[in-house]
Structure 1
């Protein structure tokens, strides 16, 4: 037996022990899930996870291996959380569109073991999470090329019972999809989501191809596939092409090579910890009021990474504001800032707590 085979046999023996220990650990996870259910506790316990990570770091003698072991422990805890969600009936995650949509791709990256719940609109995603029919929702928030998804921000404003608990950046590659064997000269019309059309505007103008906006990219691909019409094409991902039996005729037609869509995860459970937090606020329509808010944020030592304004629903020419700040909202400085803003703003509330 050579040296390589000996090492592989040792790995196999350790893996067998780890498998048995994994099952033992997951049986304990079942007990934890039952206790949390009986006492109304959230699945995610950041304080406990910090303790677990500290203990894990202390157990590793070789400093070079410590960061790799901590990654392993983090993944183990994420698997345990997903299993708890399944046991407690909190594993349903809503998204807008159909299988293959970018929101569905992001959902699968974030929650690979979840039951994906398809919704026809973003409004229904929020409604399902609000009603408890889904534990979380995954929706697009902004794109590095096309900008904000304003309708989603408006839904955040209209649903004060929901929190942004996570953000996820998905690199987006838009491709021209056609029925197999279709040449570019046969394409007469293109279908996709409005944002995908905007991201591919340069290519579409060069080809002089008219477009029709649809609810999302996957629905457009499904429509083209079911039409059987070679003159129709869709703009969507490679994953979507494979799902609906289409062919990538022209890859990467989006103008921005670094095209990324940021998705947010919404939930009724308030997050406990993060290195970013976001606020929604309104101010009186008086000179200097918005500047006063910005000054207080800066004076408190917080870096404001983003600020946006949107028209208030049903109030003509009045606006609400969204701001994202760097910092831990659990710190005393954050709580002091919120008290200051409460005195300065007409209304203010925390929208999200997350890490990025």
Structure 2
């Protein structure tokens, strides 16, 4: 890739915010000169911040990521495990000498943590209470990157996370495709026929419907599969089982009574990896680009938007529409029919092309001609492994 092409693609990654202002300039970079913001931040670059954000304690709150993947022991005592971060904890900068930290929603043993470990096998994982906390952990330098699920082959899109992608200024720098293995776990010595109820996340229970129906057990919903495993182990519930990962069984000292109990054995969840800075797109491997845009109301406008990719032989892999939160309805006045109301949509699109390619740059330049707002969420290598 030539220097001029790299600068051109870098410009594309930083432009097109017509109609939307940055929530903050913190963390924004010009790819052309590769500003080392992390180094700057660790040398006192946050002096312009107020309150608790100026403080840089020697120890990251709670040491949330001390436990490495290889050091996991069969331990039912949850008090010694890292506690998930919440908004109240997100007030300090991370240690600049530590290895890569990945924030995620959930606790140790969740499928989001498994995705983080697939992307970065030697990383330190940072559990968070909510998806938004995982974003803020990166924005406030408690983590280097965040991993969040965006779609599942059985459950479809996770709409909440599309909204968060637009609300925050993080960049998509990678993706992870994780084959989901749902396991039935119970305390040591408990047999499967002794179970009277099974506890897990609603989707995990739904996706394992056939298996659980044969067992004839009651089902109880909780927010997190790994949280269900921890609760089972902590409270010694011998009449209950949980649907969770094999890693959760290892962490919380549970036995695996059955594996791959999901109805669809090819159940795959796609995760996005987010960072403060974008990566420079290249052409030496398959890349995917994610964008979001809005259009004026009118016949054939969406067709025209999609045609800019078809005309250049660019394959679209995803299209998602979401009503705009600040302006969900658009009023259209017409002298013949009076006023009409239409939903005002944001369109999210993934396409298979790198922003280092002229065809991708030309397609977005064409789209910008009639898009009222356009933003590149990220250009990143595709994950082709399962």
Tell me the TM-score range normalised by the shorter chain: 0.7 to 0.9
Shift of 1:247: 1.1
Check if 1:323 corresponds to 2:318: no
Give the structure 2 partner of residue 290 of structure 1. Answer: 302
Q: 2: distance between equivalents of 1:312 and 1:211?
A: 36
Give the structure 2 partner of residue 345 of structure 1. Answer: 371
Give the structure 1 partner of residue 20 of structure 2. Answer: none
| CA deviation profile, 1:261-313 (whole Å, cap 9, x unmatched) | 11110011112115211111121232211111011221132111111122322
Q: 2: distance between equivalents of 1:286 and 1:210?
A: 51
Q: Which moved more, 1:303-312 or 1:259-268?
A: 303-312
Unaligned runs of 5+ in 2: 1-33, 39-93, 329-342
Higher helix share: 1
Shift of 1:88: 5.1
Check if 1:214 corresponds to 2:222: yes
Q: 1: distance between equivalents of 2:321 and 2:214?
A: 34
Check if 1:167 corresponds to 2:175: yes
Preserved CA contact (<8 Å) 1:90 1:134:
no
Q: 2: distance between equivalents of 1:322 and 1:131?
A: 26
Give the structure 1 partner of residue 59 of structure 2. Answer: none
Give the structure 2 partner of residue 200 of structure 1. Answer: 208
Q: 2: distance between equivalents of 1:153 and 1:213?
A: 24
Shift of 1:138: 1.0
- For residue 253 of structure 1, the aligned residue among 257, 261, 286 is 261
Shift of 1:86: 8.2
RMSD: 2.1
Shift of 1:132: 2.6
Give the structure 1 partner of residue 79 of structure 2. Answer: none
- For residue 163 of structure 2, the aligned residue among 145, 154, 158 is 154
Q: 2: distance between equivalents of 1:211 and 1:190?
A: 5
Q: 1: distance between equivalents of 2:324 and 2:116?
A: 30
State TM-score, norm by structure 2: 0.67
Q: Report 1 or 2 for greater relative contact order, CA contacts < 8 Å, sequence distance ≥ 6.
A: 2
**Matched position secondary structure for 1:313:** coil
Check if 1:268 corresponds to 2:281: no
Larger-gyration structure (1/2):
1
Give the structure 2 partner of residue 299 of structure 1. Answer: 311
Check if 1:124 corresponds to 2:124: no
Q: 2: distance between equivalents of 1:326 and 1:86?
A: 36
Give the structure 2 partner of residue 134 of structure 1. Answer: 143
| CA deviation profile, 1:112-159 (whole Å, cap 9, x unmatched) | 332221101111001121233221001112112222222212211222
Pairs within 5 Å for 1:217-256: 217-256=225-264
Number of residue pairs the alignment of both structures matches = 276
| CA deviation profile, 1:15-60 (whole Å, cap 9, x unmatched) | xxxxxxxxxxxxxxxxxxxxxxxx83389xxxxxxxxxxxxxxxxx
Q: 2: distance between equivalents of 1:118 and 1:271?
A: 25
**Aligned in 2, Cα 1:204/1:346: closer, same or farther, shift over 3 Å?**
farther
Q: 1: distance between equivalents of 2:99 and 2:172?
A: 17
**Aligned in 2, Cα 1:257/1:279: closer, same or farther, shift over 3 Å?**
same
State TM-score, norm by structure 1: 0.72
**Aligned in 2, Cα 1:311/1:200: closer, same or farther, shift over 3 Å?**
farther
**Matched position secondary structure for 1:335:** helix
Give the structure 1 partner of residue 112 of structure 2. Answer: 103
**Matched position secondary structure for 2:314:** coil
**Aligned in 2, Cα 1:351/1:234: closer, same or farther, shift over 3 Å?**
same
Preserved CA contact (<8 Å) 2:197 2:240:
yes
**Matched position secondary structure for 1:137:** strand
